Structure 1
Amino acid sequence: MIRDWEKILLVYEQAVEELKIKFKSIRKEYRNTDEYSPIEFVTGRVKKISSIIEKAKKRNISIDSIEDGIEDIAGIRIMCQLVDDIHRVVSLIRDRDGKDLKIVEERDYINNMKESGYRSYHIIIKYPVHTAFGAKEILAEIQIRTLAMNFWATIEHSLNYKFKHNIPKDIKERLKTAADAAFLLDMEMSAIRDEIMDAQQIFQAKSTIVAKILRNIQYLYFSGKIEEIEDIRDRFFDLNEEGDINRLKEFNNYLEKLMDKYNIRKLI
């Protein structure tokens, strides 16, 4: 049977976009509350038709069974900074099981790495997509890995493509050594996890308060009611250079009181 794969894959493309939005929203929620986010960034893709057909042939899957036999036509990749973050993301996904997705299978390639040195955590899900032609439940794969794991996996994928999955023995050995080095880096980063989280939370908190200050200075400027606006700007530049978050918060409170005094919010 000849199938219109371009039309079929539109559903998978919709699923990828929806899942990306969901996980990016989780990251945003953490950052908006100045909390450390276990999600660094999210990517997604739908397999090309040629890759789908090639994988089906390799696994001896019939054309009519492809959507049930290949779990990663739609794929989401969630990158984390630390190995511990992977487990936090897995927990977040498990919490959604039975709500907006269903977990079919979990594959832990971190504690049970592949012979090549590949490490990642895979979760196969069923995800309902609502289209103009009705609802359809599809299979999708979520890969969760650290930045170091992702760097290694990207290189290995490129080499597999170049050598058509027959990577020379010496390169395989060097890849395995590189995989071990990447994992050692992850372990070292995990050892100073608390310091990393503290540093990033401070950075995020400062970024948030600076954004609020800049917004309030803009409101004060356009109100035309504050004569000392240049002095306010200069004071902000000095405080920002100094970098003391508590003094920045105090300064923002001062701006908020000025805005209340002149009822500026109602004028903007």
Structure 2
Amino acid sequence: MELKIGNEQDIHTWEQVTLVYHSALKQINTKIEIINDEFQQVHRYNPIEHIKARIKTSESIVKKLKRHGYESTIENMVKYVNDIAGIRVICSFTNDIYTIADIISNQSDIRIIAVKDYIMNPKASGYRSYHMVVTVPVYLSDRIIDTKVEIQIRTVAMDFWASLEHKIQYKFEGNAPTHINTELLECAHMVSELDARMLSLNNEILEIAEKIKNQKEE
């Protein structure tokens, strides 16, 4: 039986949404786990601290559509909401973020839809992370559906800040007092400095370890 090549516009029910996006999420999650396994085995290095995956709830999707002025239909869900399936990759250092992003980008069955680098260009709030929207083919019994997944890659420190900022903004329904937003921005600068110092320290440690290794081999 020949498989038909389709896209997300072929999804017509919420049951199909959950099936297809869960499948896409599993594929991306597995790909990232394999990358991490290879680094541990070949390079003796673990660039990924942990991975978080989730499917957006129907309530959250409806709220997002309404916020952008779209009617709450399945068609609009799959057309306009890029983060129905989302995966967050937490790394140790900022250079790991770009390494992981490059490896994902170079996989032949992944197509990059959009990239937003909030590390080089942080949001006004101080938010920092690397975002990719990609498509991955989901193989069903009678067709292949290219399905969008949003990938967020950030350090442990960035993730800590983003989680707390989200909780604080949720409590104030997005209208936190000015002094709290100012304090959050200050903390974001501190997180950025911490990441830079930790990366520098790690590089120094690696250099010292390499010198010791070379001395032993001489």
Q: TM-score range by the shorter chain?
A: 0.7 to 0.9
Q: Tell me the residue number matched to 2:215.
A: none
Task: Verify: 1:85 aligned to 2:96, yes or no.
Answer: yes
Deviations 1:58-81 (A, max 9, x none): 011232222111111111111111
Q: CA deviation at 1:24?
A: 0.8
Q: Secondary structure at the match of 1:123?
A: strand
- Structure 1 CA distance for aligned equivalents of residues 208 and 140 of structure 2: 43
Task: Verify: 1:105 aligned to 2:114, yes or no.
Answer: yes
Task: Verify: 1:127 aligned to 2:136, yes or no.
Answer: yes
Q: Tell me the residue number matched to 1:76.
A: 87
Q: Tell me the residue number matched to 1:8.
A: 17
- Structure 2 CA distance for aligned equivalents of residues 145 and 9 of structure 1: 26
Q: Tell me the residue number matched to 1:21.
A: 30
Return the match for 1:36 from 33, 45, 54: 45
Q: CA deviation at 1:121?
A: 0.6
Q: CA deviation at 1:34?
A: 4.7
Number of residues paired by the alignment? 198
Which protein shows a greater Rg?
1
* Range with bigger deviation, 168-177 or 51-60: 168-177
Q: Tell me the residue number matched to 2:199.
A: 190
Return the match for 1:164 from 152, 173, 177: 173
- Which runs of 5 or more structure 2 residues have no equivalent in the other structure? 1-11, 211-218
Q: CA deviation at 1:154?
A: 0.7
Q: Tell me the residue number matched to 1:247.
A: none
Opposite residue 129 of structure 2, the aligned amino acid is: S
Q: Secondary structure at the match of 1:17?
A: helix
Return the match for 1:115 from 124, 128, 148: 124
- Structure 2 CA distance for aligned equivalents of residues 82 and 196 of structure 1: 14
Q: CA deviation at 1:140?
A: 1.2
Change (3 A) 1:200 1:179: farther
Q: Secondary structure at the match of 2:148?
A: strand
Instruction: Report the TM-score, using the length of structure 2 for normalisation.
Output: 0.83
Return the match for 1:46 from 48, 55, 59: 55
Q: CA deviation at 1:170?
A: 1.6
Change (3 A) 1:133 1:168: farther
Instruction: Report the TM-score, using the length of structure 1 for normalisation.
Output: 0.69
Q: Secondary structure at the match of 2:46?
A: coil
Q: CA deviation at 1:164?
A: 1.5
- Structure 1 CA distance for aligned equivalents of residues 109 and 97 of structure 2: 20
Q: Higher relative contact order by CA 8 Å / sep ≥ 6: 1 or 2? A: 2
- Which runs of 5 or more structure 1 residues have no equivalent in the other structure? 202-268
Deviations 1:67-101 (A, max 9, x none): 111111111111111111111112112211xx121
Q: Secondary structure at the match of 1:160?
A: helix
Q: Tell me the residue number matched to 2:161.
A: 152
Opposite residue 55 of structure 2, the aligned amino acid is: V
* Range with bigger deviation, 131-140 or 11-20: 131-140
1:39, 1:79 within 8 Å by CA — same for their partners in 2? yes
Q: Identity rate of aligned residues, in percent?
A: 36
Q: CA deviation at 1:39?
A: 2.2
More helix, by proportion: 1
Q: Secondary structure at the match of 1:65?
A: helix
Task: Verify: 1:58 aligned to 2:41, yes or no.
Answer: no
Q: CA deviation at 1:31?
A: 0.9
